[in-house]
Amino acid sequence: MVRLWSCHDFLTRVVNCLKSEIEEDIYVLLQEDLFNNCDMRLSEWLSQERLYMLAHKAIDSRRLLAVLRLCLEEVIRRSDIWDADVVLKAKELLGWFRRKVRIRVRYRGEPVPFTLILCSKSGDRKLCLRSELEAIELHISREEYNVSVEASTEDGIAKRKLTLDMFKDELTIDLNEDDIVEPNFYEIPVEIATGEGVQLNEHFLDLLLKHIRLVLVDELGNVLSEAHVNENRVAKLRKPDAIFDGRLFVRAHLRLNGDEGRRLASILEAGGCRFEYGEIEINPAEVRQRSCTVFVKQRVVNRLRLRFSDTEAYRCCKQEDKILLEEGIVRYGYAKSRVRVSEWLGVDKGFAYSALGSDHTLYEHQLKALKLLEEGKDVLVCAPNGSGKTEIVMLYALKKFMENPEGAAVLAIYPTKALTGDQEKRWSKFFIVANDFRLLKLPALVVKLDRDTVEEARERIKTANKYKSPLIILSNPAFILSTLQNGKLYDYLENRRILLIVVDEIHYYTSKDLSLLIKMLDYIVKCEEDLLGKAGPRMAFLSATVGNPEAFSREIRKALDKEIVAIGADYGKHRRGTQHVYVVKADSEAEAEKVVLNYLRELVIKGGKDIEKTLVFVPSRNLAERLMKSLSEGVAKHYSDLVQCHLGDMSLEEREEVEEDFRRGKTRILFTVKTLEVGIDIGDVQRVIHLGIPHSLNDFIQREGRIGRRGGDSESIIIVLNEAERKRVEEYIKYIRGLSVVSEAIHVPVVKTDSLLIKRIDEWLKRRWGSLKFPKEVKLTKDLTITVKFYSQSGKEFIVRGAKARKSVRAQDVVYRYLPGSIRIVKGINYIVENITKSDTKRKRYYVWLVRAGIRSFDRIWGLSLLHDAKIYYRGLKDLIKRGNLFTVSDIDKIFKVYWSLADDLLIVKVVEIPLGVKLVHRFIEEEYDPVTRERVKRIRFRCIANKPLPKELREELRLETVSRGKLIELRISKDSPLLSVLRETLAHYGDMLEKHYKEIDREFYEKTANVIWLSRRVVEEYVHLATHLILNLISEVHRWRQEEIYHDVEVRLERDEAELLKALYEILNVKKEVDVPLRIRVLFANEVDLVRDVNWFKVYKRLKGYKEMLEEDKLEACRDIIANCYAFRCFVTPYALEQLLEETRENGNRVKELVRRVAVILMLAEAIVKRVLDNACVGT
């Protein structure tokens, strides 16, 4: 038998026989090559080189090799017809198909663990070969399987399908980023945003991006991964290794290590730039996240966009020769040290830029305070806003945490929830950056702890306690007191050591609240030292405005038995800004009003909502409201809350809301009658306008001290109304020129630890020492207890609903302003209180429901028939309310319960206030003949047109009881009292009714005259209140106390029955007879910590005498000053009618005598009250 051996034989006997199983292109390629070599021995043709050549010619080498394998298998199967050399060569090549191949995998040039996955073409078989870093050897035919590689890289899982090279024994697979199928990183594009005036070139941008580092953190602040920004401005942050259910955040910070970092810091500083880190929340489902933007901003320097001298109002004044003075006064900044933030902490400069905006040098007072704290001393830092007081305590806390983080805590106390919320953002940002820079072994946690956040805060504190992370608790004194009273403070702190106690805005507290706060802090310190065996915490008291800081620090030192060092801000030589002062002469109040309005309108037209914060002081409430209304309804009508009033008779909550709007910049123009309370932070005021100037230098300096606190330019526009004011302003300008620290004119906080209340608390604590509890109430006498609380003795919470925003109000405000039927004007909108309901969930929570005051709501609550009976056109209801011609007054039954105190000269008095209902009062103008001037004059009259009684159960729910200590003065209205003339003028329109019904006194008569009795008592109470307000303002001026330090109240009660009072009123009004009025008046001056004892009543009496002399010399100016001092904070009685009369004197000079007569009544009442105090004519029952 002849054996086959040639290529031609292979073509005809094998390839052609398998043609049906071979694809066309492969068949053509084999046929062509075999035909060209038909005479070649097949054993020579069957070589690796030939197969390699054919594989490269083929479109698909895998298919070609598969065909060749079939052909070779066919040769071996029919080995009987083929030459022995050919069969041997075929077997050799088939073995080559199944030989070993070593495969290794690399990623970015480095070996990585990988898995080879071999899957049969039919899909019924799969083989996985796992390797760490070594190569894998394959012993399987590559044509029978689909081969792929899967590698675990630093960027995630990479996969690639392999096409094996049949002619190599080793195969190295280099994977790259394109092979990543399951990334374990997030791609974060980084952008740089610039503020106004900042321009960055490409070189600087590249340098900045090079030093930006991104961190991936969890909710607790743990840093999970970090990454730099690559040349494409993208950072790749590694995902957490474990499955994470919580929220993840990415933050971009500035790292300034090395020479390049220092060079970048120098560039930023030279350009006056501030850096703000960027933050985004991660979407775990996405690899490519949204951009993280960092900000480079110019350091803000306050400039006046429009000065008074650049306006038309100024040019008009200049043309009329009304500008008396125009001067620019240079202000200087705080003295700086040579130590930077990063140097003091010993950290990367980038931390200071990310946490504080820049790596600035510390002020001298900051460095001094930090050194004293490190030496173990406590500090009282008194420095203006923007001088870095909060930075002091944050830097000290961070340094202590860096030294000893485990189980350490900081307790920061702020007086209000709003301020706590603001400070929480600052503390959180600072310690977030510290955590991101890994300055602490464990991430610090900042927690806001108050009644609204207690549930969330408790869980976060538990987590911090579990890991012993550093803890910063921000709270308010009322909540800290409640935790002490319930024994829960140390449940929150567990076994932590309090490193630092911060008390911010120390000037905010009244003497009672401050004394209680100091006692509470003293107890916490003693618990730490004596009961828990820990080192006592450092204490830092912070304030922007404290009069006589040295004396105040001595008071705290005495109360706490600790060394307290007072530190003030010294001024350096670098220029901080210019204060432009203008003195403008006005011939009348109307002309002054016109100047102010024209200037403010021009400001609003040209600046819109971006005008500088402007504070306008005016002499009367009516003028403040009129100016506000004119601006609000004119050029400012398109800007919500751009213009507002801050008035003394507003409720505490309304005033705080206005202050918050002004501080945040929502309100830009704020009108006020008397000086805004010193110590209230209203932000960076750049403009003050004085429409008239106060008689007191103290008040004037307080007003001027409001502006330019945060640097930059500012201006003061002083409008003088007469020659006396012009002379005073010349003296005042001297103080403005030297105005740097005005502590001599600032209110002094008062601590009274020797008071009866604090002594009773001390006794309670001694009896229960070791209980870690604070008293909820203490006994002042055997039968009388007082609740230990901050701000108020009432434990009830009232929430107003129905207005624009839900807000809390004090119990006293509810009783005097929010009883059902009361009319309230909230931000220019008329409301009526519809009802008061009790909460179903909280025992001491009540809801006050407001509805818009319209015809339907008024008819539902009061009834329109009342207006018809009173001859009032109800269609003008809205205007009546807005103009103050229709208003409501709470009818309160007030009782003074007096307890003798034999130990000293102060009485213990419980004031009981029971709301009876609401009176609807109509104010109107009536013409009558004045026998003095022999002319017909217009007089303001009031009449009570309706009464809305309060349900009995609600009376008891709203009942108020206030216990205090002080002096009680009793007055009676004798026939020679100046109050008789006031009663005669006010109640004149009731004379006819009294004449008609006097002879037939019956039940119907009493019902009709009930309102006359109420109104007469109301008039007496109002004038006595105004006299009391004048005394309080003088006490404040003499002692530099806050006006509300002394609690005041007035009780007016019938001495006999109503018939006697009606008879007296009839004789006064109709018979024109001077008779004694059977009303007993009692005036209370009190304070819960016995401050009344410290009042220098003799100096107050001398000031009253000075007012009396001034009234004789310059009647109109004296009246204006006295009326301005008849306001009292948190009191509901205001000199509204007197202000109206003061305004009318501008149109009718004959009304001056009437005005002077009424003001003289207030002066005489005030003088009589103070004389009784000096004569020790205090009463008790």
Q: Check whether residue 779 and residue 803 sit in a common domain.
A: no
Across all residues in the chain, what is the average pLDDT?
81
Is 990's pLDDT higher than 80?
no
Q: Check whether residue 223 and residue 79 sit in a common domain.
A: no
Question: How far apart are the C-alpha atoms of 998 and 1161, rounded to whole Å?
Answer: 29
Question: Which of 24-38, 523-537, 693-707, 714-728 has the weakest average pLDDT?
Answer: 693-707
The pTM assigned to this predicted structure is 0.82
CA distances from residue 889 to 880, 1014, 1130 in whole angstroms, order as listed? 15, 11, 16
Bridge partners (DSSP) of residue 807 are: 800
Strands (E), 660-806: 669-672, 687-691, 714-720, 777-779, 785-787, 797-801
Of 153, 182, 211, the residue at which a domain comes to its end is: 182
Q: What is the pLDDT of residue 1164?
A: 92
Question: How far apart are the C-alpha atoms of 258 and 311, rounded to whole Å?
Answer: 52
In this structure, the chain runs to a length of 1181
Q: Which of 581, 547, 610, 542 is nearest to 386 (CA)?
A: 542
Q: Check whether residue 1005 and residue 1085 sit in a common domain.
A: yes
Question: How far apart are the C-alpha atoms of 894 and 368, rounded to whole Å?
Answer: 53
Averaged over 1071-1100, what is the pLDDT? 89
**248-254 and 797-801 beta bridge pairing:** unpaired
Q: Check whether residue 877 and residue 888 sit in a common domain.
A: no
Question: In sequence order, what DSSP letters do the residues of 22-83 get, joined into one string?
Answer: S-HHHHHHHHHHHHHTTTSBHHHHSSHHHHHHHHHHSS-HHHHHHHHHHHHHHHHHTTTTB-
Q: Check whether residue 921 and residue 1046 sit in a common domain.
A: yes
Domain that holds residue 648: 308-329+575-743
**Segment of 12-16, 434-438, 720-724, 977-981 carrying the highest mean pLDDT:** 434-438
Q: Check whether residue 905 and residue 875 sit in a common domain.
A: no
In this structure, are residues 1139 and 621 in contact, taking their beta carbons and an 8 Å threshold?
yes
In a domain, 189, yes or no: no
Residue 790 DSSP symbol: S
Of 546, 569, 592, the residue at which a domain comes to its end is: 569
Question: How far apart are the C-alpha atoms of 222 and 442, rounded to whole Å?
Answer: 8
| Choice between 1058 and 187, residue whose per-residue pLDDT is larger | 187
Question: How far apart are the C-alpha atoms of 364 and 591, rounded to whole Å?
Answer: 47
In a domain, 187, yes or no: no
Question: How far apart are the C-alpha atoms of 755 and 60, rounded to whole Å?
Answer: 102
Q: What is the pLDDT of residue 503?
A: 94
249-277 confidence digits (pLDDT tens): 999 999 988 888 888 888 888 877 888 88
Averaged over 523-530, what is the pLDDT? 84
Q: Check whether residue 930 and residue 982 sit in a common domain.
A: yes
Structural tokens at position 319? 């043309």
Q: Check whether residue 383 and residue 483 sit in a common domain.
A: yes
Q: Check whether residue 1045 and residue 1138 sit in a common domain.
A: yes
Is 979's pLDDT higher than 70?
yes
Question: Which of 226-235, 523-532, 591-600, 982-991 has the weakest average pLDDT?
Answer: 982-991
The contacts of residue 194 (CB under 8 Å, 6+ apart) are 200, 295, 296, 297
Question: How far apart are the C-alpha atoms of 935 and 938, rounded to whole Å?
Answer: 10
Find tokens 């125009």 and name the residue: 326
User: Could you tell me the end-to-end alpha-carbon distance of the chain, in angstroms, rounded to an integer?
Assistant: 149
In a domain, 748, yes or no: no
351-398 confidence digits (pLDDT tens): 999 998 889 899 999 999 999 999 989 999 988 777 888 999 999 999
Question: How far apart are the C-alpha atoms of 10 and 18, rounded to whole Å?
Answer: 11
616-640 confidence digits (pLDDT tens): 988 777 778 788 888 877 776 677 7
Residue 707 DSSP symbol: B
Averaged over 792-801, what is the pLDDT? 80
Q: Check whether residue 913 and residue 800 sit in a common domain.
A: no
Q: What is the pLDDT of residue 653?
A: 67
Averaged over 468-475, what is the pLDDT? 91
In a domain, 534, yes or no: yes
In a domain, 47, yes or no: yes
Structural tokens at position 195? 């503020």
Residue 154 belongs to a domain with what CATH number? 2.60.40
**Residue 651 confidence class, pLDDT cut points 50, 70, 90:** low
Q: Check whether residue 690 and residue 839 sit in a common domain.
A: no
CA distances from residue 867 to 852, 946, 1095 in whole angstroms, order as listed? 18, 9, 48
Residue 726 belongs to a domain with what CATH number? 3.40.50.300
Helices 202-210 + 258-270 axis angle, to 10: 130
Structural tokens at position 1177? 């004519």
| Choice between 534 and 1029, residue whose per-residue pLDDT is larger | 1029
Of 852, 882, 912, the residue at which a domain comes to its end is: 882
Averaged over 317-340, what is the pLDDT? 86
Q: What is the pLDDT of residue 41?
A: 81
**Segment of 133-147, 581-595, 1096-1110 carrying the highest mean pLDDT:** 1096-1110
| pLDDT more than 70, % of the chain | 87
Q: What is the pLDDT of residue 539?
A: 93
In a domain, 190, yes or no: no
Q: What is the pLDDT of residue 139?
A: 60
In a domain, 59, yes or no: yes
Question: How far apart are the C-alpha atoms of 1032 and 754, rounded to whole Å?
Answer: 23
Question: How far apart are the C-alpha atoms of 280 and 215, rounded to whole Å?
Answer: 11
Is 584's pLDDT higher than 80?
yes
CA distances from residue 641 to 621, 664, 809 in whole angstroms, order as listed? 18, 12, 21
Question: In sequence order, what DSSP letters do the residues of 591-612 get, joined into one string?
Answer: HHHHHHHHHHHHHHHHHGGGSP
Is 554's pLDDT higher than 90?
no
Is 99's pLDDT higher than 80?
no
In a domain, 1143, yes or no: yes
Find tokens 């094996």 and name the residue: 164
Q: What is the pLDDT of residue 678?
A: 47
Q: Check whether residue 500 and residue 587 sit in a common domain.
A: no
Question: How far apart are the C-alpha atoms of 967 and 905, rounded to whole Å?
Answer: 8
Number of domains in the chain: 8
